[in-house]
Amino acid sequence: MRIALLEDEPEQSQHVQRIICESGHSCDAFETGQSFLSSVLHNNYDLLVLDWQIPDKTGIDVLKNVRAQINWPVPVLFLTQRDSETDIVSALDAGADDYIAKPARAAELIARINALSRRSQSAQNTAQLCFGPFVINTQQRSVELHGEALVLTDKDYELILFLFQNQGRLLTREALLERVWGLNRSINTRTVDTHMSRLRRRLGLNPDNGFRIKTIYQRGYRLEALSQQALSHKSPEPDKGVKQPQVKAANGR
């Protein structure tokens, strides 16, 4: 997992980073709420760890900004010296998923992180996901558009699933290469751009179906919902009076 840490005390930040990295995860650390939010808004993180007392904002303010501005359910863990019942309730009510009092104990911290990761993956791996006219079946690894099955390559399916699971989130080319293709972030390739162009044309990711893939200049891509119906993840009844063309692609399995 890629984790973002907000901690203004250098010694404490290094301690937490070391625990996280030794467990096999990666961790980017930030000392201010503004730098943390800027990175979280423009990068791909699987989990956020927040301190409460930081120089420019409170951890609660940062958490509220995350929940208000980012349209994906990233898990958030508070790690702070404030451990009163009132503080814990305030953090959970603001959208935190878990809460640990400092000092961080390595085994407990990693256990909490892994538990949050499992819960997040379980929520994302629901057998059938509905996004407007798109229905994704994660057990059958299939996608339907207006009730018509799309014939997909493995990479097409994995890319579509990742886009919809991170709807509204900026996904850098490096993050897509790592998650979908399993390639190192330092590799410079046009693979992502080629696949995105193909998905736009052939899989109906366009305003007519309530979604678009937006290119963010020099950054990456973001799948955007263009209607409240699409945003609510409810699949509408197909219009039986209009025949939808079936989309076909070569089977890459």
Q: 3-state class of 119 per DSSP?
A: helix
* Type of residue found at 30: F
105-110 average pLDDT score: 92
Asked if 145 and 209 count as a contact pair (C-beta separation under 8 A), the reply is: yes
- What architecture (CATH level 2) is domain 128-231? Orthogonal Bundle (1.10)
pLDDT tens, position by position, 75-91? 999 998 888 888 888 88
User: What residue ranges do the domains of the chain occupy?
Assistant: 2-123, 128-231
pLDDT score recorded for residue 226: 84
Would you give the DSSP letter of residue 209? Answer: G
Confidence category of residue 125, pLDDT binned at 50, 70, 90: low
User: Which pTM does this prediction carry?
Assistant: 0.59
- Say yes or no to pLDDT of 247 above 60: no
- Say yes or no to pLDDT of 116 above 70: yes
Residue 230's Cβ-side half-sphere holds a number of Cα atoms within 13 Å equal to 20
- Say yes or no to pLDDT of 171 above 90: no
Tokens of 245: 């063309």
The residue ranking higher by pLDDT, 75 or 250, is: 75
pLDDT tens, position by position, 127-143? 678 888 999 888 788 89
218-247 average pLDDT score: 57
- Could you tell me which residues come within 8 angstroms of residue 86 by beta carbon, excluding any fewer than 6 positions away? none
Query: Pairing between strand 128-131 and 76-80?
Result: unpaired
The Cα 132–Cα 209 span in angstroms is: 8
pLDDT score recorded for residue 235: 39
Where do we find the tokens 């009076």? 241
Where do we find the tokens 């996004």? 131
Q: Quick one: the chain helix, strand, coil %, rounded to 5?
A: 40, 20, 40
Where do we find the tokens 């250098």? 10
**Which CATH code for domain 2-123?**
3.40.50.2300
The Cα 110–Cα 115 span in angstroms is: 8
Report the 10 Å Cβ neighbour count for 58: 16
> Average model confidence (pLDDT) for the chain?
81
Residue 24's Cβ-side half-sphere holds a number of Cα atoms within 13 Å equal to 4
Q: 3-state class of 98 per DSSP?
A: strand
Tokens of 72: 């994906």
Taking CA atoms, 122 is separated from 10, 76, 226, in Å, by 34, 16, 27
